[in-house]
Amino acid sequence: MSLLDRYYTDEHHMFRDAVRKFYEKEVTPNADLWEKEGIVPRWVWKKAGEQGFLCPWLPEEYGGVNADFLYSFIMTEEMAKTRCSGFFIPLHSDIIVPYINSYGTKEQKDRWLPGCVTGDIITAVAMTEPGTGSDLAAMRTTAVRDGDSFIINGQKTFISNGLSCDLVIVAAVTDPNARTPYEGMSLIVVEDGTPGFEKGRKLDKIGLHSQDTAEMAFVDCRVPAENLLGREGGGFYYLMEKLQQERLVCAMGSQVGAEEAFRVTLDYMRTREAFGKPITRFQYISFELAKMATEIEMGRAFLESCLIDHLDRKLDVKRASMAKYWICEMLNRVVGKCVQFHGGYGYMEEYPIARMFRDAKVQTIFAGTSEIMLLIISRQLGL
């Protein structure tokens, strides 16, 4: 029995059915094509918006339905079955748009949020810079106040939705003389087409081929001061506040990814024979499958516990970091074994496990590496 069963309503189940049908019709048949093209087309974002699948948690005044976070989890669960990890609805709906809703002014919300719901506005967030990685204190992008504008200069990299985005939330240093680097950082919204905002090359990644990850450059990019998100100097603290949900989103994707990889592998192995019998009859293999199944069950129980805490606004930094660390690492252990048990076929692109394998690794890197998660957890333990 799932820990979440008592939280699901008939509306949740109806939403799941609608999401599943949408993915089956619009996403799964196109996943291979999008992998080759290296981007998810805008029309599918629009169709998702028409169905109410983008940011359903937003208030009705902006086009949402005040949905709870379980709707986001349902979206992630059903997406895993499409094997199209490049359609980054969770990034848009559950990681980036919440910044605008939480810290934006009424004018900013009225201006941007309705388009985020309809799919007319695709979002991105630009934190990482060449050479800085997880070290936000080393950020070099600057935003200098000039009258009623900010002039942004700097470079960003590894930006998901980097080519398709219509607006990007940029982390930049607005006060180089602040007491600490963290207190001098702000968030500024830059819209596509702003002079000086340049979308760079699409990065050639190991996995997530249908997800457009790109570089960005800001060269004397003049942005209205009214595009400042929240208070000046509050950027780092806003990022920290939202990172718990971001890390939970990563754990969600990894958990359902592990479950789908295991299901695919079990189906394959039940039909695969060696030395005159199904390979699942070999004790070593059956024991390894039992270990994987146990880890997946443990991950599901911990994730659902964290989801319940999040629904009750009780999820703390330590548990969010633990979930991100352990479940993302578990996914990689599982898919590695799954590829091995497919034998040579596991290395063939025509088998879904190959894509799952190359898409999995990044989960231990973005939104804070596993090593950063361990550092956070150790500090939360007082070490």
Among 131, 158, 142, smallest CA distance to 220 is for 142
**Rounded distance between C-alpha atoms, residue 9 and residue 228, angstroms:** 39
pLDDT for 281 beyond 90: no
**Tell me, what's the pLDDT at 335?**
97
pLDDT digits (tens, 9 = 90+) for 68-79: 999 999 999 999
- Tell me which fold the domain 124-231 belongs to: Butyryl-CoA Dehydrogenase, subunit A; domain 2 (2.40.110)
Which letter, b or e, does each residue of 189-225 get, where b requires 16 or more Cβ atoms within 10 Å of its Cβ?
Answer: bbbeebeebebeeebeeebbbbbbbbbbbbeebebee
Residues in the chain: 383
pLDDT for 211 beyond 90: yes
Of residues 366 and 17, more confidence is placed in: 17
* Tokens, residue 15: 């939403």
Mean pLDDT of 342-358: 93
pLDDT digits (tens, 9 = 90+) for 102-126: 999 999 999 999 999 999 999 999 9
Question: If pLDDT is split at 50, 70 and 90, which confidence band does 275 have?
Answer: confident
Exactly one of 35, 246, 259, 260 is catalytic; name it. 246
All structural domains of the chain with their residue ranges: 5-120, 124-231, 237-380
Pure H helices in 270-351: 283-311, 317-342
Burial (CB < 10 A; 0-12, 13-18, 19+), residue 113, is buried
Question: If pLDDT is split at 50, 70 and 90, which confidence band does 36 have?
Answer: very high
**Tell me, what's the pLDDT at 134?**
64
Among 257, 377, 375, 255, smallest CA distance to 305 is for 255
Which letter, b or e, does each residue of 129-157 get, where b requires 16 or more Cβ atoms within 10 Å of its Cβ?
Answer: beebebebeebebbbeeeeebbbbbbbbb
Asked if 246 is an active-site residue, the reply is yes
**pTM over the 0.95 mark:** no
Sign of the Cα pseudo-torsion (293, 295, 301, 306, in order): negative
Q: For domain 5-120, give the CATH number.
A: 1.10.540.10
pLDDT for 274 beyond 90: no
Q: List beta partners, residue 191.
A: 167
Give Rg (Cα) of the chain.
21
pLDDT for 83 beyond 90: no
pLDDT digits (tens, 9 = 90+) for 130-189: 977 666 777 899 999 999 999 999 999 999 999 999 999 999 999 998 888 788 999 999
Mean pLDDT of 1-18: 92
Q: For domain 237-380, give the CATH number.
A: 1.20.140.10
